[in-house]
């Protein structure tokens, strides 16, 4: 079941909790992991998460002037990649064009339910001198009730965020609503490993090692236990693809990364 | 056209708005250009920027959302009902307007 009513219980990792509680508890998890989030991603994935995000942005094909929405990416990993790609396209177009009017850079909106994650993202952007002059905006918002107008976005990305949403279909419906006709959805998320033999190794690594890394690096074993469990509960590739179709998207496809550890699902509003 | 050095991110033409409130303090920059995209998360209608209270106002529902240090807080739980009788005024204190009203 991917839609929760008020009295329903939903999964919080391997616990079942009241639907209303999930949002708050997820919020607590991410407040506590915000400052060590990037380090933890590197340790947990052996640096692979960088390649996965590179691949996401390659599939997205950013262009100068686009209006992009990145959801649940508070610390900015995907947003920064998208903005850099837009800037490269802007440079390319300006060099090639004889037109006197400047090519617009466009805008990346970073929307996250957790202000601490966004502040961390702002800090990193400042450090890397990204988004000076306004290419990045930081907005606290809920993926299930997005604070953006209908048909306002050229593309929507969500990386490792959708499994934390209480009602996945509500998030997908909102993604559809804010996209323009022709707009693209790209979702990078942990998925189900294709090969059975690898599965046991992966489970052993996840359930034994990751929470301990969390304990040592971030002093927070419980949050990382939650993260690992939430991965297990997320629907498999085909099921998630059908949820995306149910939200009205066309041309829905997915690509496995690293043997299915994660997958990028894409769809279009036509 | 001058080529940009690789790695340098060109500036967009969008600028940030910085305001000074009545006490003379620099208040959080809010980029009013965002109003073109933002919406109330509940009604999905456009918002109005109120610099005095550093809030985004949804006139459709009579709800205000805080902007803290330039960052709009637009989760449904962030909204507070505005009690002013006059829809144009975003003061949530005296309905007839109060120049001494301090931001919530």
Which is more confident, A269 or B16?
A269
Residue B67 belongs to what domain range?
41-97
- Indicate if the pLDDT at residue A82 is higher than 50: yes
pLDDT of residue A204: 79
- Name the range with the highest mean pLDDT among A228-242, A246-260, B86-100: A246-260
- Here the contacts of B59-64 (C-beta below 8 Å, separation 24 or greater) are B59/B87, B62/B87, B64/B90, B64/B92, B64/B104
Spell out which residues of chain A touch residue B42, defining contact as CB-CB under 8 Å. 145
Task: Identify the CA nearest to B35 among candidates B17, B7, B53, B56.
Answer: B56
In the block, residue with structure tokens 């040592």: A216
* CATH code of the domain in which B79 resides: 2.20.25.10
**Domains of chain A, start order:** 9-268 (3.40.50.150)
The pLDDT tens digits for A11-45 are: 777 777 777 777 777 777 666 666 677 777 777 77
- Indicate if the pLDDT at residue B92 is higher than 80: no
- Residue at B55 is within a domain: yes
Spell out which residues of chain A touch residue B71, defining contact as CB-CB under 8 Å. 115, 118-119, 122, 138-140
- Indicate if the pLDDT at residue B47 is higher than 90: yes
- Residue at B54 is within a domain: yes
- Indicate if the pLDDT at residue A3 is higher than 70: no
- Residue at B77 is within a domain: yes
Q: How far does the CA of residue A228 sit from the closest CA of chain B (Å)?
A: 26
Q: Is A7 helix (H, G, I), strand (E, B) or coil?
A: coil
The whole-number average pLDDT for the span A48-72 is 97
Reported as a pLDDT band with limits 50, 70 and 90, residue A4 is low
Q: What number is the ipTM of this complex? A: 0.84
The whole-number average pLDDT for the span A43-51 is 85
Phi, psi of A138 (to 5 degrees): -120, 120
pLDDT of residue A31: 65
Which is more confident, B24 or A113?
A113
Which is more confident, A158 or A30?
A158
- Residue at B87 is within a domain: yes
Task: Identify the CA nearest to A55 among candidates A269, A265, A245, A270.
Answer: A265
C-alpha span between B51 and B26 (Å, rounded): 11
Kindly state whether A104 is in contact with chain B, defined as any CB-CB distance less than 8 angstroms: yes
Q: Closest partner residue to A95 among B3, B65, B71, by Cβ?
A: B3
pTM value is 0.81
- Residue at B31 is within a domain: no
Which is more confident, A37 or B89?
A37
- Residue at B35 is within a domain: no
In the numeric block, which tokens belong to residue A236? 């498999």
CB pairs under 8 A between A and B: 106
The structural domain count of chain B equals: 1
Q: Closest partner residue to A107 among B14, B15, B16, by Cβ?
A: B14
The pLDDT tens digits for B62-71 are: 999 999 989 9
- Taking each helix axis as running N to C, give the angle between helix A221-233 and helix A19-33, from 0 to 180 degrees, rounded to the nearest 10: 130
Phi, psi of A169 (to 5 degrees): -65, -35
pLDDT of residue B27: 43
pLDDT of residue A106: 96
The pLDDT tens digits for A187-211 are: 999 888 877 777 778 877 777 877 7
- Residue at B84 is within a domain: yes
Q: Closest partner residue to A132 among B1, B11, B42, by Cβ?
A: B11
């Amino acid at each position: 079941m991917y839609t929760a009513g008020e009295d329903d219980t939903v999964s919080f990792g391997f616990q079942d909790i009241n639907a209303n509680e999930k949002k708050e508890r997820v919020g607590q998890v991410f407040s506590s992991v915000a400052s060590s989030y990037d380090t933890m991603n590197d340790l947990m994935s052996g640096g692979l998460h960088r390649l996965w995000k590179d691949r996401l942005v390659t599939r997205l094909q950013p262009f100068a002037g686009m209006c992009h929405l990145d959801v649940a990416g508070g610390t900015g990993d995907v947003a920064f990649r998208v903005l850099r790609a837009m800037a490269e396209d802007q440079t390319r177009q300006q060099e090639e064009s004889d037109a006197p009017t400047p090519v617009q850079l466009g805008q990346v909106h970073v929307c996250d339910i957790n202000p601490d994650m966004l502040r961390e993202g702002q800090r990193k952007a400042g450090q890397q001198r990204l988004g000076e002059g306004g290419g990045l905006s930081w907005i606290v918002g809920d993926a299930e009730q997005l604070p953006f107008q209908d048909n306002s976005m050229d593309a929507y990305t969500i990386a490792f965020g959708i499994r934390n949403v209480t009602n996945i279909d509500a998030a997908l419906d909102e993604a559809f609503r804010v996209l323009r006709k022709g707009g693209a959805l790209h979702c990078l998320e942990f998925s189900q490993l294709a090969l059975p033999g690898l599965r046991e190794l992966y489970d052993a690594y996840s359930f034994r090692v990751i929470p301990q890394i969390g304990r040592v690096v971030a002093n927070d074993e419980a949050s990382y236990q939650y993260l690992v469990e939430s991965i297990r509960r997320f629907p498999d590739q085909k099921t998630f693809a059908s949820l995306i179709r149910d939200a009205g998207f066309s041309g829905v496809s997915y690509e496995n990364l690293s043997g299915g550890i994660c997958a990028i699902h894409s769809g279009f509003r036509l | 056209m001058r080529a940009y050095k690789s790695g340098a991110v060109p500036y967009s033409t969008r600028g940030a708005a910085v305001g000074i409130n009545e006490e003379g303090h620099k208040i959080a920059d809010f980029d009013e250009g965002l109003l073109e995209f933002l919406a109330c998360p509940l009604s999905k209608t456009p918002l109005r920027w109120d610099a005095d209270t550093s809030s985004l106002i949804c006139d459709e529902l009579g709800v205000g959302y805080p902007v803290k240090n330039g960052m709009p807080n637009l989760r449904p739980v962030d909204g507070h009902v505005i009690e002013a009788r006059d829809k144009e005024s975003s003061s949530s204190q005296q309905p007839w307007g109060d120049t001494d009203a301090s931001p919530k």
